[in-house]
A and B are shown apart, each in its own frame.
Chain A
Amino acid sequence: MIHFVILVSRQGKVRLTKWFSTYSQKERSKVCELDLIFNFHKAYYILDELLLAGELQESSKRAIGRMIAIHDRFVEAAKEEASSISNLLAQVNM
């Protein structure tokens, strides 16, 4: 299930560690703190699926997984669109 801890490091930095370790094992080989730091925006997103208004929103790993999948699909789709020729042209023109 959900394994995450919100930590405050000695420098006062807030970071999420160990989120979704089981989920991540399926999706990726391993999740470490570095992944979190480089994907902090994802951590925010996942947290928003988990908690809202200070209350637990969803306790099902699968339901959250589905939401993240949808999210990823949207981002991918947008990226493909962005890399399409018209966009490239638009950027060149600038």
Chain B
Amino acid sequence: MALSGMRGLSVFISDIRNCQNKEQERLRVDKELGNVRTRFKNEKGLTPYEKKKYVWKMLYIYMLGYDVDFGHMEAVSLISAPKYPEKQVGYIVTSCLLNENHDFLRLAINTVRNDIIGRNETFQCLALTMVGNIGGREFAESLAPDVQKLLISSSYRPLVRKKAALCLLRLYRKNPDVVNIDGWADRMAQLLDERDLGVLTSSMSLLVALVSNHHDAYWSCLPKCVKILERLARNQDIPQEYTYYGIPSPWLQVKTMRVLQYFPTVEDPNTRRSLFEVLQRILMGTDVVKNVNKNNASHAVLFEALALVMHLDAEKEMMSQCVALLGKFIAVREPNIRYLGLENMTRMLMVTDVQDIIKRHQAQIITSLKDPDVSIRRRALDLLYGMCDVSNAKDIVEELLQYLSTADFAMREELSLKAAILAEKFAPDLSWYVDVILQLIDKAGDFVSDDIWFRVVQFVTNNEDLQPYAAAKAREYLDKPAIHETMVKVSAYIIGEFGHLLARRPGCSPKELFAVIHEKLPTVSTSTIPILLSTYAKIFMHTQPPDQELQNQIWAIFNKYESCIDVEIQQRAAEYLALSRRGEALVDILAEMPKFPERQSALIKKAEDTEVDTAEQSAIKLRAQQQTSNALVVTDQRPANGTPPANHQLGLVKIPNMSSNADHNSTDQGLSQENGTLNKVDPQTPSPDLLGDLLGPLAIEGPPGTAVQSHQTEIPGSGGDPNAVDATAIVPVGEEPNSVQPIGNIAERFHALCLKDSGVLYEDPNIQIGIKAEWRLHQGCLVLFLGNKNTSPLVSVQAVIMPPSHFKMELSLVPETIPPRAQVQCPLEVVNLRPSRDVAVLDFSYKFGHNMVNVKLRLPAVLNKFLQPIPVSAEEFFPQWRSLTGPPLKLQEVVRGVKPLPLAEMANLINSFRLMVCPGLDPNPNNLVASTTFYSESTRAMLCLARIETDPADRTQLRMTVASGDPTLTFELKEFIKEQIVNIPVAPRAPGPVPPAPPVAQPTSPAAALTDPGALLAGLL
């Protein structure tokens, strides 16, 4: 069929298609371009039809891959044509030929805007489509309000509004400021009530983008999303045309579930229940069928549902249902489905508690490791790697080893690295670990990176029990006829260090050891020879009494290599020769290597670095970051045999420098450095528990270089006056303009921590500061947990405590750098000198990238932490209460604007301040009496009593009486309680409706009035 009436264009396309070769095509195109150019030059003579035709030709030429650098103006000018066909061509060609920064677009903005706000809906559609396709910053600024109006106005038809939604999405992506969150969130929620599924799908795409930036503004959309999902899952009111192979709009389902994953949780129990019902329905209703398209659609929905289930931390039952479903998937014939099943199982691993259920499918997963499809094999490897733990490590690692000999080369390196890591992480015993690594080297030596064998050397060196075993194993491998060079290196090293431990075994005399190693010398490369030379020197040193024949042999070798062209070999040969003639000194210098300092496995580091993010889901990513590695840590025992690490001054001579020629430049390979230059090890490593870890036994690399001393500066006048009555004692914090936004509300976190002893004090995308506190009498110990959430280190970390005058505080060293994903503990000692409500402030700063982040955080070392609740009986209470007469020891105040709480909850609140509510003491059931002991250095233990008289008719006010033996304490405690129970900010209340003395607070029985001096006093007032 010819192009609707445009013969010239059809002819041109036919001509191009008939070209025999590229050259002909180019000639034809050039001819046409010249033609178009001359016609455009003489624009006056062009009818709209001709103009349209030439612009189409330009677009066709552009599609063929030729540069079209003219005629843009003609294309843009067609936009302003009054008739639909020309306008349409103008819009389409403009959106194809011009990009968002093209100057000509500016010329069209006015026309585009007129079309958008005009009443012709076909023109509106054309304009919105072009803006949605090009949508630059300038468009965003000038058109966004109009587009928003179209979207929310119900007077426009769906065909306009769905385009408006996506157009706005495009503009929002270019410039997020075009959407004003405050007003827009409600509008967005209204949009979700839309019945038309086209508009709903487009709006949902917009919502995904909005929510991914500011989920907290869009809470009102959450229940509506669940409603939409319900509607779709139940297939209620879904037009036939929106079902795809019987599935109600899978696109909308996926997008809606994606939106839900951006909310941290679904709190409302009803919404949550409905959502889980929907998810349950999706899980139950999905199966593998014959039709590929149906599978694609239903699986897309299913996998999004799985992601949501994981995000919501569903009950275990649902999780196991998910795993069971995936188990079905990984066993089907269709490779795509197997792949997806394995991939999603790997994602499931991030969720706690499902590991055991996944383990049931271990056999099937291992089968997948032999799948003909390499991408499935990779997924299976990832999954096995992820699901491995102490219980199945032996099975899985042995499977991997077995598979290693048949695996294709592309996978071997990854495979061996993973096997090595698993062996290290989950070794049930260390000899097994050594076995695995040696097998690994034996089977796939070419793919075993140096890191792997360095690590095994570290282990053997640091674990004395392992040394004879490792030496015997190494000896066994040396007997094999052809072994990999890496095996030669590791065996030679181990035999050199620990060969003497085998002395009494057959075939292990120094001479025999030397012979078996020396046999390999002709086969190895220059990088291995230095290791062999060191081994010879060590064997020679261990030969007691000296063996003349062996000595001659070894000296002959040294002599020979003394003139070697390789400088490393030459130096070693020369030095060993000179040393071995010195007799006694040799024994000292060549003594066993000291133990290696504790540090994170370089292998795991390497694996972490190469990890690629496949999952887009934010929640899953977050969880992955929180996962801890259980890597074995090279134990840092002090050498028992009296060779202190201080030996390191002996430098190079002592160390068989096996890699100085290659690895010294690489700073990231921590291991090679350790092996090469031990003198970097600082014997003054701070004790490891200082760097302990809340999350798990993750070793932290290296000691911090320098640390910031806590500044003990007393700040005079910073609220030091205990009689400062006003509420400004609360230090304003966190108001500095930081580019890094904190996660969660700092003030809320602080208030929560005032009432409990552990929790998060501060969090932002880079760091989390947790607190764990212990209080004993007037002393306390707060531990700050500084956790780096990133994969790169946080530097210039500084923590300075600004204590108020009533505290003596001492912060231990804070390291300047927090390594990636590590957590650092900094204990802070607190001594309470006097009662005061002033709080200490932590001035914390760090540098991430080029950003300096600084926050000032109040520390939850508040008055009530030094309280110790004690129960008192009526006999104890009343004499005390009476003996404390009036101000300043007993203070009373009517408090208004109290958080309205039922009496029982008020009692709980008071209890949570560590004041013990003693029921039954006060004859009036609306009153609470509480007692506690306060500890400080000046007051020692001081009994405090409090009475709170509530008004059942008006819960927002109460009268409070506080008494203690210390006037400051009484005042401070009263103010503290007041602060805690008052709603902040206090709403300014008109004095009119509140009577000056609440009548209900009056003691009802005269007897009580007599026993209560406070009440008497109140009566007098």
Query: Which residues does A use to contact B, with CB under 8 Å?
Result: 1, 11-15, 28, 35, 37-41, 44-45, 48, 52-53, 55-63, 67, 70-71, 74-75, 77-79, 82, 90-91, 94
B83 and A61 contacting across the interface, CB-CB below 8 Å: no
Tell me if B162 and A53 are in contact (CB < 8 A): no
Closest-CB distance, B258 to chain A (whole angstroms): 12
Given contacts A53-B173, A78-B84, list 19 more A-B pairs with CB under 8 A.
A13-B65, A37-B13, A37-B17, A39-B1, A40-B59, A40-B60, A41-B3, A41-B56, A45-B92, A52-B129, A53-B135, A55-B205, A57-B202, A58-B198, A59-B197, A59-B242, A74-B122, A75-B84, A78-B85
Can you list 23 pairs linking A and B with CB atoms under 8 Å apart? A13-B64, A13-B65, A15-B63, A40-B63, A48-B133, A52-B133, A52-B170, A53-B132, A53-B167, A56-B251, A57-B162, A57-B201, A57-B202, A58-B202, A59-B251, A60-B197, A60-B239, A62-B241, A70-B122, A75-B4, A75-B88, A78-B84, A82-B49
A48 CA / B47 CA spacing, docked (Å): 27
| CB-based nearest A residue for B22 | A11
Say if the beta carbon of B244 comes within 8 Å of chain A: yes
Name the residue among A59, A78, A94 with the largest chain B CB count within 10 angstroms. Answer: A59
Within the complex, the shortest CB–CB distance from B259 to chain A, in Å, comes to 13
> In the complex, A1 Cα to B205 Cα: how many Å?
21
Cross-interface CB contact of B5 among A1, A38, A58, A79, cutoff 8 Å: A79
B45 at the interface (CB under 8 A from A): yes
Interface class of chain A by DSSP:
helix
Residue in A closest to B129 when the chains form the complex, CB atoms: A48
The answer to whether A60 and B198 touch across the interface, beta carbons within 8 angstroms, is: yes
B704 to chain A, nearest CB (A): 46
Tell whether, in the assembled complex, residue A38 and residue B2 are in contact, meaning their CB atoms are under 8 Å apart. Answer: yes
List the A side residues contacting B244 at CB < 8 Å.
Answer: 1, 59
Residue B96 at the A interface, CB < 8 A?
yes
Q: How far is the CA of A63 from the CA of B201 in the complex (A)?
A: 13
Let me know if A56 and B4 touch, CB within 8 A.
Answer: no
Q: How large is the interface on B (under 10, 10 to 19, 20 to 34, 35 or more residues)?
A: 35 or more
- What is the CA–CA distance of A1 and B92 in the complex, to the nearest angstrom? 25
In the assembly, what is the distance between CA of A90 and CA of B59, in Å? 27
C-alpha gap A77/B5 in the complex (Å): 13
B3 engages A48 (CB within 8 Å):
no
Interface string of B130-142 (1 = CB under 8 A from A): 0011010000000
Q: Which residue of B lies closest to A66 (CB)?
A: B159
Measured in the bound complex, the distance between the Cα atoms of B17 and A37 in whole Å is 10
Q: Is B89 an interface residue (CB 8 A)?
A: yes
Q: In the bound complex, do residue A13 and residue B85 qualify as a contact, i.e. CB atoms below 8 Å apart?
A: no
Q: How far, in angstroms, from A62 to B241 measured CA to CA in the complex?
A: 7
Q: Pick the most buried of A14, A35, A56, A94: most chain B CB atoms within 10 A of its CB.
A: A56
Q: Within 8 Å of chain A (Cβ to Cβ): is B249?
A: yes
Residue numbers in B under 8 Å from A74 (CB-CB)? 84-85, 88, 122
Q: Nearest chain B CB to A12's CB is how many angstroms away? A: 5
For residue B980, CB closer than 8 A to chain A, the reply is no
Choose one: B83, B88, B173, B198; the contact of A45 (CB below 8 Å).
B88
**B169 close to chain A: CB less than 8 A:** yes
Closest 7 A-B residue pairs measured CB to CB?
A: A53-B170, A55-B205, A52-B166, A74-B84, A60-B241, A52-B132, A53-B166
**B295 beta carbon closer than 8 Å to chain A:** no
> Is the C-beta of B10 less than 8 angstroms from some C-beta in chain A?
yes
A60 to B205, alpha carbons, bound, how many Å? 16
Q: Report the Cα distance A41→B299, complex, angstroms.
A: 34
Of A13, A38, A61, A63, which one neighbours B159 at CB under 8 angstroms?
Answer: A63
